[in-house]
Structure formats: structure tokens, C-alpha cells
Structure 1
Amino acid sequence: MAIKLIALDLDGTLLTSDKHITTRTKDIIARAMSRGVMVTIATGRMLHSALYFARLLASDAPVICCNGGYVGRAEGTPVFAEYFNPVLVRDLLTFVYDRDWYVNWYSGMEIYAPAYIEEYFDAYRTTANFTVTGVGNDYLRYTENVPQIVLRNLDEGIGSYLNAVQERFGDRILPQQNTGTSLDINPPGVNKAVGVQALADAMGLTLDEVMVAGDADNDFEMLEMGAFSVVPENGMPEAKERASYVTASNDANGIALAIEKFVL
């Protein structure tokens, strides 16, 4: 069947290495949208950044952000949302604060952290109007409607953090997208495939009408969910093993080439 929904990862997939969308990619996506195809973002990033890049594509579709933990727009009822229990957020943040680890967490359009440290958010440098709300030690006020928590350590890596939170919280959390210096933590059962499925269901689509694209470990479930899956050449080998099609790299208009080949 014809593709009617395209869900695109950002970093390493839609975005170039310098965190931009090429003009050619924008043009090809615009052609797909002119034919009635809905194009959206499927990212581990927060809602604000996901919406920013969706709007650069002139898409008003609900976005899939926080690794599938939230599907929706800035306002209105989300298509899907899975939040941590506020008590667990409190306990996890206290655990992290007690060890003086750097943490940020999302709620709605906001990103909270003890304080803003620029080097931890380099990936967001091309997201306009990006701000971090520094809450200091007053974190207990910000534990509602949290779909994702992120631990960061640029100096020593994140391995010891992962081991410690897994030992302490077990199956009450789902660590994913371990970049080596950052670690996303979501509620159990949440991944991008869940978000894509929720949006497809809301649109009345079957998976053979869906194209997904990603490059990393937090894309694995989405790539193997049954949709037509695209991975750029720069993607992880394990991601490419799950792909229906391996396209050119994110710096060589790989997403544009795949959409042109299979959608237009």
C-alpha cells in the first residue's frame, strides 16, 4: 500500500552532523506532504525541540518525542502519553541529587535541571528559543507529567550511573539510548514503536502505510515493528540489520533519497 505516514528520527537521521535539515531534504518532504503524506518527528528529544524541527518542515502533525513517551502537540490532549509516577520521579531525582550527578527531565514544553550547563545541551544548539529551567534543589515541585529523565556525564561516561539506577530501581524504569555520555530513562514499555503505533492507530493506518527512519539503539523497536524502515549509512550496524532499506548518510541527503525512491 502507499505510504501515508513518515516518522523520522532527528539526530543522525533527518539532521546532518551539524544539526540542520538540508534544503534538498526539506524540498523532498514538502513534495511528499503535498501528496497528502503526513510527516512527523520520532525522537528521544523533548517536545519543544521535536516541534521546532517539525515546523521547519511545515508539518503540523503530532510529534513523537521522549522516545515515544509523548505523542502530540504543544497544546490539547495528546494522542498518547505515558508518564512516570510522581513518587518514582521524586525518588529517582533524590537518588541522583544525593550523588551529585547531572540530570534533566521533561514535562510538557519544559526541560528542568539543577542548573543550565551549556556543554550538556550541544545537540540543541540549532533549536530556536531553547531554554533550560534551572530549579536548584527545589526539584520536588516538578515531578508531575514527566515522560523522560536524562542522566549526563561528559567526563567519566555514564556506565556507572546505568548500573546504579538499574540496581536501585530495577524494572520500574527503562534505560535506553545510552550514548556513552548520556542516558535516557523512560517508563517501562515505552519506546518509539509504541508512539508510532499510537499515531498510526489514531490516523486509521496499517503499518504497511507507514515509513520510519532511525539510526541508533533507541530506534530498534521502531525499525522492527513492521513498518517500512529506513536507516542511513551512518547508522549503527544493529540498526541497519533491522532496516528494510539502507540509504545514504545523514550528511548526504539519505532521508530525501529514500522518500524520493519509495514515496514519490
Structure 2
Amino acid sequence: MTRIDLVVSDVDGTLLTKDKILTDAAKAAVQRLHDAGIGFTIVSSRPTIGMDFLIASLAITLPIGAFNGSSIVDAKLNPVEQHLIPPAIVQRSIDLLHARGVDIWLFTNDRWLTRNPDGEYVAHEQHTIKHDPTIVPDFTPYLSQACKIVGASPDAALLQRCEAEMQQAVGNQANAIRSQTYYLDITPPGHDKGTFVEAIAGRVGVPLAHVATIGDMQNDLAMFAKSGVSFAMGNASDDVKARATQVTDSNEHDGFARAMDVVLRTGR
């Protein structure tokens, strides 16, 4: 495997277990990267407010990527580069999800908004990002502030169909891709985890060929395509595994730490 100078990791399903736990093995693996002089950062579909607890735990000093990489913030969560969804596309996305009976969330830079506090995945998201939603009767006042729209549903087949419909509905004016089988993310156009990898590699002066990425979902494929080495988690679907250069163990069996062991064995 080629020399690696920078690692960019997904969070949920990759760095964290299914119970949203950062294991001791994962922490130790990141510390070994730091000790070896290998840069490390994270990029996620999570909102900015859902990333803060990881920064201190992993001693991250590089900028991180939120909202599938469309927002870049520094280690103190100050915006470095931020993009928004066009308001008309926000409304179009909301209308489509509402018509399909999918629960809708709108994220601004610092708030999670929902019209339905009893939505099936609200408690799950509270546990995941360690923040509570703001309940609003109407999304209209926030259309010009949307960093991300999420459609949440336990019906994976329905959400897969919605993904295809949404991609056609928004065209090149937004990105629409599932970050989990139960979450469909609509994010600003022209920015994804791949563009984040390009941006962070440029900032630290590392060639893309010397970047390793690791993830488990379709939204991670964009960064796989930009990096010299890519690891798919063992819990990833077969189509995600097929697009990675290597496959590691699952997030329940310290697959992240095992992949970092491979990175560290390559030397510098």
C-alpha cells in the first residue's frame, strides 16, 4: 500500500459503533496516527453541533467536515467554509418528502428543526448528536438558512425510491443521497465528502494519492473516489465494498482500528 500522510474518516457506522460509542481501540488508533505524524480528521452527514464531542476525544486539530462536507469548520466549530441549499430547492425537497409521508428535519448551522417532536427517529438523533431539536410549526422562516434537509423513515425501500425521485427533482441544484438506510440527506450542490477530501488535502499540502479514507455508506463513495486508498467497513453494503480499495472489519469489531493498523504498517 502507498504511503499515507492523511486519514479522513466517516463517523457513524465507521468510527462509532451502532450504539454511538467511540471505543478505546478507536481512540488508541487515532492517537497512534498522531504519534506517527499522520494527519487525521472526520467528515460526516452530521450537523456541526453533532461533531463537537469527537474533537476533544480524538485530539483533532485539523478542520472537520459537517453536512456531508458542505460545511468546513475549525476545531472550535468556527466556520471556515459554509454553503447553503437554495431556498426554492429546500421547499421542493420538503414538499416531496411530505407527499411521501417521510418525516422531515431541517438543519441550520446551529439548530436542528422539526415539526414533529414524536417522529420515529427523533430520540435516536438526540442520542446521536447529543443535542435536542427545536420544534417549529412551519419551516418557511428557515428556508434561506438550510445547511441540510433530512428525510427520516424506517421504510428503507421507500427511502431508496425517494432518493431516486429527489435526485431527479433537485437536479444539479442539490445533492440527495442516503447517509443511513433510514436517512435521506439533501445538501448544497457541488460539495460532498469528496470535495472535502480535496479541500483538506490542499490545506495540509498532502497529495490525494497519499490520503486514506474510510466509510460505510453511499455518501462515502465520493471520498473513496478522491483518495489513494479507501477502506470500506465490514458492515457496508456490497456495492460500497466494491468501490473501496480495501475492506476492513465491522464497526462492532473495531474495523476502524484494524484499518488504521494497516495504514500505520505502511511506514512513512
TM-score in terms of structure 2 length? 0.85
How many Å separate the matches in 1 of 2:97 and 2:255? 39
**What is the CA-CA distance between 1:93 and the residue it aligns to?**
3.6
Gaps of 5+ in 1: none
Specify the SS of the correspondent of 1:175: strand
Tell me what 1:149 maps to: 149
Aligned length in residues: 262
Tell me what 1:76 maps to: 78
- In 1, are the aligned partners of 2:4 and 2:210 still within 8 Å (CA)? yes
Q: Partner letter of residue 196 of structure 1?
A: V
Q: 1:116 to 1:159 in 2, by over 3 A?
A: same
Tell me what 1:105 maps to: 106
Tell me what 1:177 maps to: 178
Tell me what 1:24 maps to: 25
Specify the SS of the correspondent of 1:142: helix
**What is the CA-CA distance between 1:14 and the residue it aligns to?**
0.9
Tell me what 2:39 maps to: 38
How many Å separate the matches in 2 of 1:108 and 1:173? 17
How many Å separate the matches in 2 of 1:164 and 1:107? 24
Q: 1:249 to 1:167 in 2, by over 3 A?
A: closer
Instruction: Show CA shifts across 1:161-208 (max 9, x none).
Output: 446545544443321016443211123333211111111112222112
**What is the CA-CA distance between 1:55 and the residue it aligns to?**
2.7
Tell me what 1:136 maps to: 137
Q: Which runs of 4+ in 1 moved over 6 A?
A: none
Q: Partner letter of residue 214 of structure 1?
A: G
- In 2, are the aligned partners of 1:3 and 1:209 still within 8 Å (CA)? yes
TM-score in terms of structure 1 length? 0.86
Gaps of 5+ in 2: none
Q: 1:21 to 1:98 in 2, by over 3 A?
A: same
How many Å separate the matches in 2 of 1:248 and 1:100? 35
Q: Percent identity of the aligned residues?
A: 26
Say if 2:245 is the partner of 1:228.
no
Tell me what 1:259 maps to: 260
Q: 1:223 to 1:159 in 2, by over 3 A?
A: closer
- In 2, are the aligned partners of 1:216 and 1:235 still within 8 Å (CA)? yes
